[in-house]
Amino acid sequence: MGGDEEEKTLFGFEEVPAREKARRVAGVFHSVAARYDLMNDLMSGGVHRLWKQFAVEQAAVRPGQRVLDLAAGTGDLAARLAPRVGPQGLVVLADINESMLRIGRDRLLDRGLAQNLRFVLADAEALPFASDTFDCVTIGFGLRNVTHKERALQSILRVLKPGGRLVVLEFSHPTSPALKRLYDLYSFAVLPRLGRWVAGDEASYRYLAESIRVHPDQEALKALMEEAGFVEVHYDNLTGGVVALHRGFKP
């Protein structure tokens, strides 16, 4: 009874078959890839650069270490991580979206960053790496787009070395009711219009706003990480909780 019912998940506010979500998310990022960096600057007033710098500092990687940057997109985190691991280290940029990965690769090559970088098309839920491979895994603004977050967290835990660190930078839930009201107004009244004017795609930026609202809040994501097996899980609220940075370790 009920065994034939198809699994459902949320794509923004819309309930869709789970098997369709990855395809729909891919469509969003194929559409916005060319203007992704410009839109990030416009949407955040450039503050996303400070969030990412804080994430890299919390990653605390050292020369010679191996880092996996998941949902690497256009390479903002990887560009900051690569100098820290140095020529003897390695940063693997992995993304499920080929358009984003290609733009990231070209952008980093143009900046002269290539020696210690690798690029891999990969699904966070089933990472194609051996167990106990990486000293650190970072994922910036990508976890909310994953269909089965618990599977992705378990996959990340598997590829981390014992003692390795996961750093999750993600939009979250404002802690102040006043800020939440302002943020909602901006997200649903301004952001889609900005997407239409700059990227020619209002629908994708409406999805991005909705996907933030249905993503687990700070405490719920902390609990998900702990359930997946991470220990010493902590988070910091940035910009009043608009963004949160979670950290956890593989025991």
The CATH number given to whatever domain includes residue 157 is 3.40.50.150
pLDDT band for 18, please (50, 70, 90 cuts): confident
Q: Give me the mean pLDDT over the 45-67 stretch.
A: 95
Beta bridge partners of 99: none
Say which residue the tokens 């649903």 belong to.
Answer: 188
Per the document, the length of the chain is: 251
Residue 4 belongs to some domain of the structure: no
Q: Comparing 23 with 216, which gets the higher pLDDT?
A: 216
**pLDDT band for position 144 (cuts 50, 70, 90):** very high
In a domain, 36, yes or no: yes
**Within a domain: residue 137?**
yes
Decide: 103 and 78 in contact? Cβ < 8 Å: no
Question: What is d(CA 15, CA 10) in angstroms, rounded to the nearest whole number?
Answer: 5
pLDDT digits (tens, 9 = 90+) for 100-114: 899 889 999 988 888
pLDDT band at 140 (very low <50, low <70, confident <90, very high): very high
Confidence check: pLDDT of 86 > 80: yes
Higher pLDDT pick, 55 / 3: 55
Q: Is residue 1 part of a domain?
A: no
Mean pLDDT along residues 41-50: 83
Q: Could you tell me if residue 129 is inside a domain?
A: yes
Segment 17-26 mean pLDDT: 75
Q: What's the CA gap between 121 and 142, in Å, rounded? A: 14
Residues whose CB is less than 8 angstroms from the CB of residue 4 and which lie 6 or more positions away in sequence, other chains included? none
Q: Residue 169 sits in which domain range? A: 10-174+208-249
User: What's the pTM?
Assistant: 0.88
Q: Summarize the confidence of residues 24-42 as an average pLDDT.
A: 66
- Identify the residue with better confidence: 148 or 202: 148
> What is the reported pLDDT for 1?
42
Q: What total number of domains does the chain contain?
A: 1
First-to-last CA distance in the chain?
A: 40
Q: Is residue 144 part of a domain?
A: yes
